[in-house]
């Protein structure tokens, strides 16, 4: 399975994903993952940024609201249509384009920063998405991206719960087996039956890489590691969204910020 095959799956997910996430059912994104990502993000006001795998644009809009001049790409035409419609309703100056992360339609050194919110692990050509992010960054620019945590989103995973349905551990396995497009069917767990009515499940191809594969690829691409985050929900968040209690047991998400080295001084 290559990036274009994956794009067709995501295009098929786009309408239901947009509906449910805009209704507030992507609770791990809204109440854990994105707030932690933004807390780790350097000041982007006045900077030119590229958001790769923007989906319907929720997180892209948050970048624009922080004062960045944002361009955003997604391989799925229908996600970009939803994002553009929102841009027409509430203009933030975001330039949305249909493009694949592995062949970005921008020249070398175009952007001050690049983001990828939960999209890089969906691209089978992991080395190419990192190489493209590196290429379009100016020297000294940064890339920050989030992925499902390689150590806990393993091919085998099972929540172990006590008698009160409280997760006390995660059983993980098959860590070293790289999934290469196994399709999982699911919907946001927080969405009640009436919100799901008439919607087909998302079909998402999975590509797993070990932690060392990710880190070594980043280093091989030429990036310098700058900051790493493993968000954990607060007790208050879990009281408000009890299903998120399992994310206090292990880290579901991994956030990484890396920098393209500044150009070496030429003497
Ligand atoms: C889990 S969704 C995340 C969407 C959005 N960033 C968010 O946080 O709400 C993954 C996104 O990556 C996009 N995607 C997958 N493969 C891609 C590729 N090769 N190039 C660009 N986007 C891609 C999908 O279409 C989808 O919108």
pLDDT tens across the length of the chain (267 residues): 999 999 999 999 999 999 999 999 999 999 999 999 999 999 999 999 999 999 999 999 999 999 999 999 999 999 999 999 999 999 999 999 999 999 999 999 999 999 999 999 999 999 999 999 999 999 999 999 999 999 999 999 999 999 999 999 999 999 999 999 999 999 998 999 999 999 999 999 999 999 999 999 999 999 999 999 999 999 999 999 999 999 999 999 999 999 999 985 544
Q: How far is CA 239 from CA 31, 242, 244, 245, 260, in A?
A: 12, 5, 9, 8, 40
Q: Is 123 in the pocket of ligand 1 (CB under 6 A)?
A: yes
Q: Residues with Cβ < 8 Å from 76, sequence gap 6 or more?
A: 7, 10, 11, 13, 14, 55, 98
Which residue's CA is minimally distant from atom 26 of ligand 1? Answer: 55
Nearest atom of ligand 1 to the alpha carbon of 34: 8
pLDDT value at residue 264: 54
Residues shown for the chain: 267
pTM for this one?
Answer: 0.96
Which of 115, 119, 205, 231 gets mutated to test ligand 1 (max ligand atoms within 8 A of its CB)? 119
pLDDT value at residue 78: 98
**Cα(94)–Cα(100) distance, rounded to whole angstroms?**
18
Which of 89, 55, 60 lies closest to 75, judged by CA?
55
């Amino acid at each position: 399975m290559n990036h274009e095959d994956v794009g067709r799956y995501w295009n098929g997910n786009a309408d239901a994903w947009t509906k449910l996430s805009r209704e507030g059912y992507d609770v791990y994104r809204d109440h854990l993952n994105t707030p932690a990502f933004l807390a780790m993000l350097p000041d982007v006001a006045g900077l030119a940024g590229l958001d790769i795998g923007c989906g319907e644009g929720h997180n892209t809009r948050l970048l624009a609201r922080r004062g960045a001049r944002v361009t955003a790409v997604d391989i799925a035409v229908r996600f970009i249509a939803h994002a553009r419609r929102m841009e027409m309703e509430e203009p933030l100056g975001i330039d949305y384009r249909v493009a694949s992360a592995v062949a970005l339609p921008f020249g070398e050194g175009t952007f001050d920063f690049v983001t990828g919110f939960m999209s890089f692990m969906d691209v089978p050509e992991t080395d190419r998405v990192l190489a493209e992010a590196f290429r379009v960054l100016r020297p000294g620019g940064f890339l920050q991206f989030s992925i499902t945590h390689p150590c806990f989103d393993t091919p085998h995973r099972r929540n172990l719960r006590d008698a009160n349905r409280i997760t006390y551990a995660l059983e993980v396995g098959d860590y070293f087996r790289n999934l290469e497009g196994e399709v999982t069917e699911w919907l946001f767990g927080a969405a009640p039956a009436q919100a799901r009515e008439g919607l087909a499940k998302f079909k998402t191809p999975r590509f797993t890489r070990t932690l060392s594969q990710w880190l070594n690829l980043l280093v091989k691409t030429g990036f310098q590691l700058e900051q790493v985050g493993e968000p954990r929900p607060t007790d208050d968040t879990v009281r408000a969204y009890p299903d998120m209690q399992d994310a206090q047991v292990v880290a579901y998400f991994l956030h990484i910020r890396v920098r393209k080295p500044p150009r070496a001084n030429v003497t």
